[in-house]
Amino acid sequence: MEIDGLVLRLIPIKEQDAMMHVLTCNGIMSIFARRVMSHKSELHEATQPFCRSSFTLSEGTQGGLRLRQAKLIQAPPLVENSLTAYATLELISETLTHLEGDVAWNDLVELTYMTLAQLRENRHIAIAAVFFLAKLLSYGGWLPEVNGCVICKAKSDIVAFDHQAGGFVCRKHYNPETSTIINQEISRAIRVVFSAPSLQIALPYLDDKLTEPLLNLLGAYYHMHLGRELRSIRMILASIH
């Protein structure tokens, strides 16, 4: 079997072996890889995190997939001097490796490669992280209501985003325990990141100063609906201060 995929995570087994989690158009594949932790291995370069590579696989003796060959297609973006870029890579890995069920994997693959391209350009990285998380929620089936009140469908007097209800709420349905108050600028930015087909289209409507409130809001929404607090969100927020 041959596949094209992106290495999201490399989990060491013993000293030199590892289990790879690889993003493909069919979902996340777990692949056992011998000696890839050794720099002397011919497979090492193509199997490191965030390498896009072509893999030749076979079935292992005890079931599962086993790596036979790997050829590098594109190396990871260089992020040694950028904590925000490193944290965004963590966001990609942390969210994708915990997705389950019927999700739009083709769209997620395209979104991931688009985000990596933005990291290579080293521009608007924090905004790219916001856009990635919003689209991941959409493609994963957790698209919130952002065109009106999620409870009564009112289009006016929107004052908050309710994480539990799943979208915008009007003044009448604001709940101080589950709602985050938003202003008009933030509500417009939320609509943009969930509706724009690409980051390039969204960028003119976003501002760096909105990054922190948007990350906090999307992180809380992710936590509410997927039951996980994203460590990478805290890393990104720390990096932009």
Stretch (H or E) spanning 234? helix 231-239
**Same domain, yes or no, for 124 and 229?**
yes
Q: What is the mean pLDDT of residues 96-124?
A: 92
| 79, part of any domain | no
20 burial via Cβ count (<10 Å: 0-12, 13-18, 19+):
buried
Q: Over the chain, what is the mean pLDDT?
A: 93
Task: Give the confidence band of 165 by pLDDT, cuts at 50, 70, 90.
Answer: very high
| 80, part of any domain | no
Task: Give the confidence band of 60 by pLDDT, cuts at 50, 70, 90.
Answer: confident
Identify the three-state secondary structure at position 50.
Answer: coil
Q: What is the mean pLDDT of residues 31-45?
A: 92
**Same domain, yes or no, for 24 and 115?**
no
Task: Give the confidence band of 14 by pLDDT, cuts at 50, 70, 90.
Answer: confident
Number of C-alpha atoms within 13 angstroms, CB side, residue 38? 10
- In the chain, the amino acid numbered 194 is F
Task: Give the confidence band of 162 by pLDDT, cuts at 50, 70, 90.
Answer: very high
Determine the Cα–Cα distance for residues 170 and 173; give it in Å rounded to an integer.
Answer: 5
**Same domain, yes or no, for 201 and 91?**
yes
pLDDT for residue 15:
84
| 197, part of any domain | yes
Q: How many domains is the chain built from?
A: 2
123 pLDDT higher than 90: no
181 pLDDT higher than 80: yes
80 pLDDT higher than 80: no
**Same domain, yes or no, for 39 and 131?**
no
134 pLDDT higher than 90: yes
pLDDT for residue 56:
96
Helices and strands (H, E) in the chain, number of each type? 7, 8
Q: Print the domain residue range for 45.
A: 2-74
- pLDDT over 70 percentage in the chain: 99
| 225, part of any domain | yes
Q: What is the mean pLDDT of residues 128-152?
A: 96
CB 68 within 8 Å of CB 76 = no
Q: What is the mean pLDDT of residues 200-215?
A: 93
Q: What is the mean pLDDT of residues 66-90?
A: 91
Query: Any bridge partners for residue 28, and if so which?
Result: 23
Q: What is the mean pLDDT of residues 170-174?
A: 97
pLDDT for residue 106:
94
47 pLDDT higher than 80: yes
**Same domain, yes or no, for 45 and 143?**
no
**Same domain, yes or no, for 201 and 115?**
yes
**Same domain, yes or no, for 133 and 217?**
yes
From 74, 108, 132, the end of a domain falls on 74
pLDDT for residue 61:
67
pLDDT for residue 173:
97
**Same domain, yes or no, for 120 and 26?**
no
Distances in Å between the alpha carbon of 206 and those of 6, 185, 188, 202, 211?
28, 9, 9, 7, 9
**Same domain, yes or no, for 53 and 125?**
no
- In the chain, the amino acid numbered 238 is A
Residue of 165, 79, 168, 172 whose CA lies nearest to 128:
79
